[in-house]
Amino acid sequence: MKQIAARIAWSVGLILAVIVMCFSLVHLAPGDAALVIAGDSGAGDPELIEQIREDLGLDDPYLVQLSRYVGDVASGDFGTSYRFNEPVTSLIGDRIWPTILLVTTALLFAIVIGVLVGVFTARRPESPVSHGVTVFSLVGYSMPVFWTGYLLIIGFASNVRWFPVAGMRDVRFEGNRFEEWLDIAHHLVLPALTLGLIYLAQYSRLSRASMLEVLQSDYVRTARAKGLAERKVVYKHALRNAVIPVITIAGLQFGALLSGALLVETVFNWPGLGRLAADSVFQRDAPVLLGVLICSAVLVVVINILTDVVYRMIDPRIRVGGSS
């Protein structure tokens, strides 16, 4: 518990560093925010530009702007979008849940199926299925995520029409809450599959290797010597040990998963944070971009803390001793 508290305290410092770094990068980027806000029609009016600069404090020194921004963020104010003229928190609030839904589904799909496939192939390492999984993993890992997305759209949305091409909801949808969830789930299949496939390939390889090692361990031999059925030996005694590296890697890769979500959201027109970030870059909407970056950093930090908690639940050597 003490270690988790220390981890949270450390994470607060980390997020602060991320805020400073993101703000500095955006501040250093070329372009004038006042011109963006004034738009095409107002860009020719120097008085309007000056007024905007004064209102937003854009003429203040960098450190003044930074400390003002950090103070605002600490009180939950991420500023107002230049483009939408809406609070950034409300824009992120609308977009964060689709991203969390997409990323969580893809991650769970990759972990659960990846571990099951890994266990299956580790038990039959020389079988054709095992070799097939190795080839599939290499292919899955090598394919760019956007290309996988387009292949799945062509295959399952355009040709056989099992799933919608893009979006999160059917624009013609009418129905109750349960039907609405079903509609979202229907739209979620292809994006989650696209994002999950690359990680499925990695996790199945990782679990296979880990399981092969664990199945040779002395405690598995002890479990067999006790007379336990092979199913119990594998799923009770070996799996819990074999899954530890998968959990570790999944936690570490969450940041990469969020980056992948940006591409997937663009390909499938999924209304998440990734698309909001991409749009804000093209429209030089600095408050939104900063908000998304900070929000992503917080998500990564939270997931890493959760990974730590899960890790401790699975492996008592860390829970009791503090170190292994």
Partner 1 sequence: MEPLLSVRDLTVTFGSFTAVDGVSFDLHEGQTLAVVGESGSGKSVTALSIMRLVELGTRGKIENGEILFRQPGGEVIDLVQQREDDMRKIRGNAISMIFQEPLTSLNPVYPVGDQVAEAVMLHQGLEKAEAAERVLEMFRLVRIPEPEKRMVQYPHEMSGGMRQRVMIAMALSCDPKVLIADEPTTALDVTIQAQILGLMRDLREQTGAAVLIITHDMGVVAEVADDVVVMNRAKVVEHGPAVDIFENPAEPYTQALLASVPRLGSMQGRSEPAPFELVEYDS
Binding site for partner 1 (CB under 8 A): 215-230, 237, 240-241, 314-317, 320-321, 324
Query: Could you say which DSSP state residue 257 is in?
Result: H
Minimum distance, C-beta of residue 313 to partner 1, in the bound complex (Å): 10
First and final CA of the chain: distance in angstroms?
A: 16
User: What is the DSSP track for 226-244?
Assistant: TT--HHHIIIIIIHHHHTH
Minimum distance, C-beta of residue 121 to partner 1, in the bound complex (Å): 16
Pick left, alpha or beta for residue 85 (phi over 0 → left; psi -120 to 50 → alpha; otherwise beta).
left
Minimum distance, C-beta of residue 131 to partner 1, in the bound complex (Å): 18
- Give the separation between CA 115 and CA 314, rounded to whole angstroms: 15
Whose Cβ is closer to partner 1: residue 155's or residue 316's?
A: 316
Whose Cβ is closer to partner 1: residue 154's or residue 229's?
A: 229
SS3 322: coil
Residue 187 tokens, joined: 């739209």
Minimum distance, C-beta of residue 211 to partner 1, in the bound complex (Å): 12
Minimum distance, C-beta of residue 191 to partner 1, in the bound complex (Å): 35
Distance of CA 241 to the CA centre of its chain: 25
Whose Cβ is closer to partner 1: residue 179's or residue 230's?
A: 230
CB 124 within 8 A of CB 211: no
Whose Cβ is closer to partner 1: residue 233's or residue 290's?
A: 233
Residue 111 tokens, joined: 């972990």
Residues in contact with 283: Cβ distance below 8 Å, sequence separation at least 6, in sequence order: 36, 82, 83
Closest CA relative to residue 257, chosen from 302, 192, 312: 192
CB 7 within 8 A of CB 311: no
Minimum distance, C-beta of residue 19 to partner 1, in the bound complex (Å): 39
CB 287 within 8 A of CB 88: yes
Minimum distance, C-beta of residue 240 to partner 1, in the bound complex (Å): 5
Minimum distance, C-beta of residue 319 to partner 1, in the bound complex (Å): 9
Whose Cβ is closer to partner 1: residue 142's or residue 323's?
A: 323
CB 59 within 8 A of CB 258: no
Q: What are phi and psi of 50, to 5 degrees?
A: -60, -40
Residue with tokens 């001793």: 321
Whose Cβ is closer to partner 1: residue 172's or residue 231's?
A: 231
Whose Cβ is closer to partner 1: residue 127's or residue 216's?
A: 216
Whose Cβ is closer to partner 1: residue 68's or residue 317's?
A: 317
